[in-house]
């Protein structure tokens, strides 16, 4: 009896192999080969464009920590002339010091530091002029600066909604509009908006944050079409959870600091991994990219393909999150 069982579980028969070969040849190979060729083409494009990076002027907002700091390292090591911008000048100076201590293959340019408060809309045109004047232009604008919220929509003060929308949306587009004329004049430039997966799908207790990122997504889509003929490229990146202080520094319903690290954020991808993915997306001329773990990407497709299921899942998530709070 045992012998028969072993015999039945032995190597597949010729018929089984024929079926397997048919599946691989008829279904998998026609899909795999084009994907492989596209991947090879993308890699060659990235390698080619990377050679053109040295000397490019890159302005990064929110560069004092987290993803912005990681982006500063990536572009600096690629030989770019990096301009670091954020509210906290002392932290920008720390990042600059760290960059200067790096060993870089090829020419390295000393980073520049400029203070920027995205909430101060009236000061942004002057900031943009100062940034452009440093190297007589900006080749790549990385709109990374922003804040988040952890609060129930019904209890969130309107002043909190306004602050989040001002920083994440109005401040970002004000800077973009102030930099764009210099790019149009030169007929070249690349604008990168660091949005969020929540710019595509919204989850409970993130209403203000998700709304600001949804708006940023829509603006980037419209802008991309308008400036394409002017030689300017637009990329919107939507990362999933990244291991940063975003949740710790997030605002509560009353505008206070949340002060807690979310479990999902703590398990998120590293800033270095995300920064490198953003650089490669820029180099391969991507237009709209999701950079996330499988679960976040799956949630996006569930929302797109089966909205009722997504809404049901979010309702259950809201109840669970409410109990944790």
User: Measured between alpha carbons, how far is residue 144 from residues 33, 137, 188, 269, 280 in Å?
Assistant: 36, 19, 20, 17, 16
Taking 60 as the threshold, does the pLDDT of residue 16 lie above it?
no
pLDDT tens per residue across span 53-70: 999 999 999 999 999 999
> Could you tell me if 66 and 245 are in contact, meaning their C-beta atoms sit under 8 angstroms apart?
yes
> 17 - beta bridge partners?
none
Assess whether pLDDT exceeds 60 at residue 265. yes
pLDDT interval class at 142 (50, 70, 90)? very high
β-pair partners for 194:
237
Q: Which position has the token pair 């596209």?
A: 38
Write down the pLDDT at residue 2: 44
- Measured CA to CA, the distance from residue 152 to residue 208 in angstroms comes to 9
Does 33 score more than 90 pLDDT?
no
pLDDT digit string (tens) for 276-288?
Answer: 999 999 999 999 9
% pLDDT > 90, the chain: 65
The beta strands (E) that lie in the chain are given as: 57-61, 81-86, 112-115, 140-143, 189-194, 232-239, 288-291
More confident position, 14 or 307: 307
Lowest mean pLDDT among 7-21, 146-160, 221-235, 260-274: 7-21
pLDDT confidence of residue 268? 77
Confidence (pLDDT) at 25: 59
Strand partners, 58: 82, 140
Average pLDDT over residues 263-283: 89
Could you confirm whether 76 is annotated as catalytic?
no
pLDDT > 70 in the chain, percent: 83
pLDDT at residue 111 tops 90: yes
Q: What is the DSSP string of 122-153?
A: GGHHHHHHHHHHHHTS-SEEEE-----B-S-G
Residue 127 has pLDDT above 70, yes or no: yes
pLDDT of 3 higher than 50: no
Distance, in Å, from the CA atom of 287 to the CA atom of 122, rounded to the nearest integer, reads 30
Q: How far apart are CA 169 and CA 154, in angstroms?
A: 21
Cα distance between residue 256 and residue 299, in whole Å: 30
Average pLDDT, the chain: 86
Q: Check residue 6 and give its pLDDT.
A: 41
What is the DSSP code string of 268-314? SB-HHHHHHHHHHHHHTT-SEEEE--HHHHHHHHHHHH-HHHHHHHH
Residue 234: the pLDDT is: 98
Residue 229 pLDDT: 96
Q: Are 84 and 63 contacting, i.e. CB atoms less than 8 angstroms apart?
A: yes
Set 76, 169, 205, 209: catalytic member? 209
**13 DSSP assignment:** P
Mean pLDDT is lowest, of 18-27, 121-130, 208-217, 251-260, for 18-27
- pLDDT (average), residues 222-235: 97
Residue 41 has pLDDT above 60, yes or no: no
Which residue ranges form the domains of the chain, and what is each CATH number?
57-296 (3.40.50.720)
- Overall pTM > 0.75: yes
Write down the pLDDT at residue 259.
73
Which SS3 state, helix, strand or coil, does residue 76 take?
helix
pLDDT level of residue 43 (50, 70, 90 thresholds): low
């Amino acid at each position: 009896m045992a012998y028969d069982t072993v015999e039945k579980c032995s190597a597949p028969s010729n018929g089984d192999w024929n079926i397997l070969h048919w599946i691989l040849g008829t279904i998998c190979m026609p899909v795999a080969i084009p994907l492989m060729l596209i991947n090879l083409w993308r890699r060659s494009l990235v390698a080619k464009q990377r050679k053109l990076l040295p000397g490019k002027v890159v302005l990064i907002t929110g560069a004092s920590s987290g993803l912005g700091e990681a982006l500063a390292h990536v572009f600096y090591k690629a030989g770019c002339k990096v301009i670091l911008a954020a509210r906290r000048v002392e932290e920008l100076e720390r990042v600059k010091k760290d960059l200067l201590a790096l060993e870089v293959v090829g020419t390295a340019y000393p980073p520049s530091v400029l203070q920027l408060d995205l909430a101060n809309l009236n000061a942004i045109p002057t900031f943009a002029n100062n940034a452009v004047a440093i190297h007589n232009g900006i080749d790549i604008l990385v709109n990374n600066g922003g804040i988040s919220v952890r609060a129930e929509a019904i209890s969130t003060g309107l002043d909190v909604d306004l602050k989040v929308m001002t920083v994440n949306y109005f401040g970002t587009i004000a800077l973009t509009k102030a930099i764009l004329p210099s790019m149009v004049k030169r007929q070249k430039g690349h604008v990168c908006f660091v949005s969020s997966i929540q710019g595509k799908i919204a989850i409970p207790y993130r209403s203000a944050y998700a709304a600001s990122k949804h708006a940023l997504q829509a603006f980037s889509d419209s802008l991309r079409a308008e400036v394409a003929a002017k030689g300017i490229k637009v990329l919107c990146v939507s990362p999933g959870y990244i291991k940063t202080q975003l949740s710790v520094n997030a605002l509560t319903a009353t505008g206070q600091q949340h002060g807690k690290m979310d479990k999902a954020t703590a398990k998120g991808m590293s800033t270095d991994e995300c920064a490198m993915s953003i650089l490669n997306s820029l180099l391969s001329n991507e237009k709209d990219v999701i950079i996330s773990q499988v679960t976040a990407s799956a949630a996006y497709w569930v929302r797109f393909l089966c909205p009722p299921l997504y809404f049901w899942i979010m309702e259950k998530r809201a109840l669970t999150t409410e109990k944790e709070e």
